[in-house]
Chain A
Amino acid sequence: MTKYISSSINHCILLMGLIIMIVPVWIIFASSTHTSLFINTNGLQFFLGDNFIENYSRVLFKQSGFFNEITAFKMFFNSFVMATGIATLSVITSLMAAYGLVYFKIKYATIIFWLIFITLLVPLELRIMPSYIVMSKLNLVNTFAGLILPISASAIATFFFRQFYKSIPDELLEAAKLDGTSSWRFFIDFLVPLSKTMIAVVFIFMFVFGYNQYLWPLIMTTSEQYWTVVMGLKTMYGSISDRFAFVIMSMIPPVVIIIFLQKLFIQGIFQNK
């Protein structure tokens, strides 16, 4: 009997947690399926309305009215290009750099090591203004390169890969060396296939990280053609139900990733430790 009571208390507390995490988003979602007129007179809604398809397709494809020159669809496209670019570039450069650090005898290894890892102490938020000045000197304002490069200038992924390589047994390299494998072959034929899961983890993590960037795109894009979803939220206008619909759409990509690739994503968070 006491067991039964205590387990119901557990479930009650968990349900309260679920309410806190789910209800706010649900209310915005439910409200996004009503007309703006209805919202304006009746406030936020808890139950679904009938305007789901109408509202969402209007936001996705209507060019003017919501923003001046850009559709939400184009903003999603920009966000995906930016996030994919950041994830791809980080994975490739970090995979290579970690290989160079772990598997080679390097002169000044300590200096190079610190040169790479001390950058973890300087998040983008701390160098935002000078970064902008550098980007405008390089003529990269309002380009995808400008959105991608400074965010992928990060040693986090290198840190993951370095830890991972260190856990691979030395025997693998010994055997490869006996066979006379070159460093390039070893990297491409052995290490990259071995790191598959790790690459997926880092890629997903960096993708969500890139997609969720707010401040950098806000500063780097003066042309609406390069606006991304998350930064666009602040500047959007249009009717209230359109705005609700856009907020809901903006969270779908990262949330879908975390729900379907939960295991990999959590692994990614733990690597971040």
Chain B
Amino acid sequence: MKKVQFKSSYSQYIFLAPQLLILLIFLYWPIIQTFRDAFTIQDAFGFGSYFAGFDNFLFVFSDPSYYTAFKFTIIYSFVITLITGSIGLLLAVQANKVLHGKNVYKTLLIWPYAIAPAVVGVMANYFFSERYGLLHHLFNNLWGFNWYEDVFDAYIYVIIAGSWKQISANFIFFLAGLQAIQKTVIEASIIDCKSNIRRFWTITFPLLMPTTFFLIIINITYAFFDTFGIIDTTTIGAPGSETKTLVYKAYIDGFKGLDLGSAGAQSILMMIIVLIITIFQFRYIEGKIHYN
């Protein structure tokens, strides 16, 4: 906050009003509704509802498909983070080194970042279709690829579709992180350590730690929420429901299954997960890692 401020009896509220109004109607109202849904059970015909305590939560916890979705979401976040992080870092290191064409590489590597996940999913669809799919044919020749029956193959499908555009995001941030490292540090390290690879892991990579942790959070959030459009345009959860993320499952249960109680409870559980990630981010990452 500023040391010098305006003192007024009403102006500040006029400035705050539009945003607060929109938030109250279009955010707080639905959130309150979510909590109401989570703690009530509607009867099957929609005529009445009654307070159910934690019954909806217990129902979610006793549902094996919730654990399937949970497991998939964790695996998905982990693999996407690992793949996109390492390819992004590899490309960023190379782009930071080359003397010629740096900007051309940069432009040509970052544009997929702007493409919507749903569009990526539709494209992936063509590459994995039995009829036209180049990747489908390739994998099929290698080991008999069949994503609508085999869980592992379905994983490969959604992981490739989900990773592609996220490589760009990782590339942009790693490149920025590399460019922020002071030249003098690198020059000094060249004198001390001749091996390029060792120098990277002992000097450069530790200096990139803040970027790495930040990207882990970004990638996890991406895998949790933004991949909705990808799942919905590729496997739709196939073979059974092994490739449903938690968000996707909550949507299907609420919107298609019309089980508002269960969907509400799942949403609240997701909010708790987001809260934990955020607290973790502030506590450990912002606090412990120093930029210089």
Contacts of A102 in B (CB 8 A): 1-2
Q: A126 contacts the other chain (Cβ, under 8 Å)?
A: yes
Contacts of B263 in A (CB 8 A): 129
Residues A127 and B34 in contact in the complex (CB < 8 Å), given A122-B271, A134-B26: yes
Residues A128 and B114 in contact in the complex (CB < 8 Å), given A7-B99, A13-B94, A247-B119: no
**Residue pair B19, A97 in contact (C-beta under 8 Å):** yes
- Mark out the residues of chain B between 122 and 145 whose CB falls within 8 Å of any chain A CB in the assembled complex: 122-123, 126-127, 131-134
Q: A149 contacts the other chain (Cβ, under 8 Å)?
A: yes
- Mark out the residues of chain B between 242 and 292 whose CB falls within 8 Å of any chain A CB in the assembled complex: 247, 250-251, 254-255, 260, 263-264, 267, 270-271, 274-275, 278
- Mark out the residues of chain A between 243 and 273 whose CB falls within 8 Å of any chain B CB in the assembled complex: 244, 247, 250-251, 254-255, 257-259, 262, 265-266, 269-270, 273
How far, in whole Å, are A258 and B110 apart by their CA atoms in the complex? Answer: 8
Q: B56 contacts the other chain (Cβ, under 8 Å)?
A: no
Give chain A nearest CB distance to B289 CB in angstroms. Answer: 14
Contacts of A150 in B (CB 8 A): 26-27, 30
How far, in whole Å, are A128 and B87 apart by their CA atoms in the complex? Answer: 33
Contacts of A138 in B (CB 8 A): 25
Contacts of B275 in A (CB 8 A): 121
How far, in whole Å, are A10 and B90 apart by their CA atoms in the complex? Answer: 10
Contacts of A99 in B (CB 8 A): 15
Looking across the interface, which residue of chain A has its beta carbon closest to that of B21? A93
**Residue pair B33, A97 in contact (C-beta under 8 Å):** no
How far, in whole Å, are A234 and B214 apart by their CA atoms in the complex? Answer: 32
Looking across the interface, which residue of chain B has its beta carbon closest to that of A18? B108
**Residue pair B123, A247 in contact (C-beta under 8 Å):** yes
Total count of chain A residues near the partner, CB < 8 A: 94
Residues A269 and B271 in contact in the complex (CB < 8 Å), given A119-B23, A258-B111: no
Give chain B nearest CB distance to A157 CB in angstroms. Answer: 9
**Residue pair A7, B255 in contact (C-beta under 8 Å):** no
Chain B window 1-45, contacts with chain A (Cβ cutoff 8 Å), 1 for yes, 0 for no: 111111110011111101110110111011101100100000000
Q: B203 contacts the other chain (Cβ, under 8 Å)?
A: no
Give chain A nearest CB distance to B126 CB in angstroms. Answer: 7
**Residue pair B20, A97 in contact (C-beta under 8 Å):** yes
How far, in whole Å, are A125 and B2 apart by their CA atoms in the complex? Answer: 35
How far, in whole Å, are A212 and B247 apart by their CA atoms in the complex? Answer: 18
Contacts of B113 in A (CB 8 A): 258, 269
Contacts of B98 in A (CB 8 A): 7, 10-11, 14
Looking across the interface, which residue of chain A has its beta carbon closest to that of B5? A105
Contacts of B119 in A (CB 8 A): 212, 230, 233, 247, 250-251
Q: A84 contacts the other chain (Cβ, under 8 Å)?
A: no
Q: Which of A24, A116, A183, A230 contacts B127 (CB 8 A)?
A: A24
How far, in whole Å, are A99 and B13 apart by their CA atoms in the complex? Answer: 10
Contacts of A125 in B (CB 8 A): 225, 228, 247, 251
**Residue pair A133, B33 in contact (C-beta under 8 Å):** yes
- Mark out the residues of chain A between 179 and 234 whose CB falls within 8 Å of any chain B CB in the assembled complex: 183-184, 186-187, 208, 211-215, 219, 230-231, 233-234
Q: B232 contacts the other chain (Cβ, under 8 Å)?
A: yes
Q: B72 contacts the other chain (Cβ, under 8 Å)?
A: no
How far, in whole Å, are A204 and B272 apart by their CA atoms in the complex? Answer: 31
Chain B window 94-128, contacts with chain A (Cβ cutoff 8 Å), 1 for yes, 0 for no: 11011101000111111111111111001100110
Residues A17 and B87 in contact in the complex (CB < 8 Å), given A122-B271, A128-B255: yes
**Residue pair A129, B260 in contact (C-beta under 8 Å):** yes
Looking across the interface, which residue of chain A has its beta carbon closest to that of B266? A126
Q: B229 contacts the other chain (Cβ, under 8 Å)?
A: yes
Residues A231 and B118 in contact in the complex (CB < 8 Å), given A122-B27, A173-B2: yes
Q: List 24 A-B contacts (CB under 8 A).
A: A6-B196, A14-B105, A18-B108, A20-B164, A100-B14, A101-B16, A102-B1, A102-B2, A112-B16, A115-B23, A123-B274, A130-B30, A133-B33, A173-B4, A174-B4, A183-B11, A213-B116, A214-B232, A233-B118, A234-B118, A247-B123, A250-B116, A262-B110, A265-B114
Shortest 8 CB-CB distances between A and B: which pairs?
Answer: A100-B15, A130-B33, A212-B116, A104-B12, A254-B114, A97-B19, A130-B30, A153-B26
A-contacting residues of B (Cβ < 8 Å)? 1-8, 11-16, 18-20, 22-23, 25-27, 29-31, 33-34, 37, 87, 90-91, 94-95, 97-99, 101, 105-119, 122-123, 126-127, 131-134, 164, 167-169, 171-173, 176, 196, 214, 225, 228-229, 232-233, 247, 250-251, 254-255, 260, 263-264, 267, 270-271, 274-275, 278
